[in-house]
Amino acid sequence: MQIETKIQILANYLSESGLYKESRAVIGLYKFAKNPCDGAVEYAIQEGDSALELVAKKHGIPVSMIMDCNPGLDPNSMVPGRTKVMIPLKPDALNSNVNPSTELKAWMKAEEGWQRYSPTVVCKDGSRHRGSCGDPYLCTYDDGKGNTTIGWGHKQLSERSGDAKITLTKEECETWLTRDLDSAASHLVNSLELDTGEFLLIPVALNAHQADALISLIFNAGQDKYRKSSLHQDYISKGKVSGTEFESAFNSFAIGSDAGLPGRRARELKMFKGTYEKKCG
């Protein structure tokens, strides 16, 4: 058995035992122990780098990693243009390669596209539009919640925003869906780092369908709601990804008063467990 697998088994055991900090430490120590200074690059202190913490934040690594690679460095005596430090490469997180799957993209089209019961949409330009089950909305419309929407669930900030369009081709909708899913995946990977300003690890390796489900949550509700949610703070960030309490937090995530969201959350939870049940198909 490879050492990486043994480390993950130990970390999962600690996490399931409620020892979340210890679980994260085990993984983090292993990652950092793999010669973090190998491949370090030289960086000249610049104007504005008033504290080593700012340099560390700029490169997305803890201060301790910079100090380990720069023995003898005095953080209080750095001179812009003269002081040079070695910046270690940022270690890979367990889920750094998370990407939306082709199954998620097909699921999202069925979820966000036309439904059998969808009424004819009155577009912003006054035209009327209908589509078949799972087709994208090819014109800008109000989704009933004040969101200017187009394609497969793409929400435009306003009709004056840089991505504002009145109509799209199906090919353009494909491009926007790919971009939106990639953005949600990026927010998932960075969710812990954004909380703390330092590099941390989600102390459990997400498989493809688990990652897809969380990407869908972020796509639907947004990055900020996800990071502030009990699901993220009390469960995902601590490696708790099973059990009745976890499922309750998942099902209640960002529901609000939308009558359609409980059904979506149920489908997303099934996805998390490995079944891609489509709303329209």
Question: pLDDT tens digits for 140-166?
Answer: 777 667 777 888 888 765 444 444 557
Question: pLDDT tens digits for 195-227?
Answer: 665 555 666 778 899 999 999 999 999 888 998
The residue among 16, 18, 79 whose CA lies nearest residue 45 is 79
- Digitized pLDDT (tens) for each residue of the chain, 281 residues in all: 445 555 555 655 555 555 555 555 555 545 544 566 767 889 998 888 878 888 888 887 778 778 888 988 998 889 988 899 998 876 555 566 688 999 999 999 999 888 766 677 777 667 777 778 888 888 877 766 777 788 888 876 544 444 455 778 889 889 999 999 998 998 888 776 666 655 556 667 788 999 999 999 999 998 889 988 999 988 988 888 899 999 999 999 988 777 778 999 999 999 999 999 998 75
**Which domains can be identified in the chain, with CATH numbers?**
1-34 (no CATH), 37-90 (3.10.350.10), 102-272 (1.10.530.40)
What pLDDT score was predicted for residue 32? Answer: 45
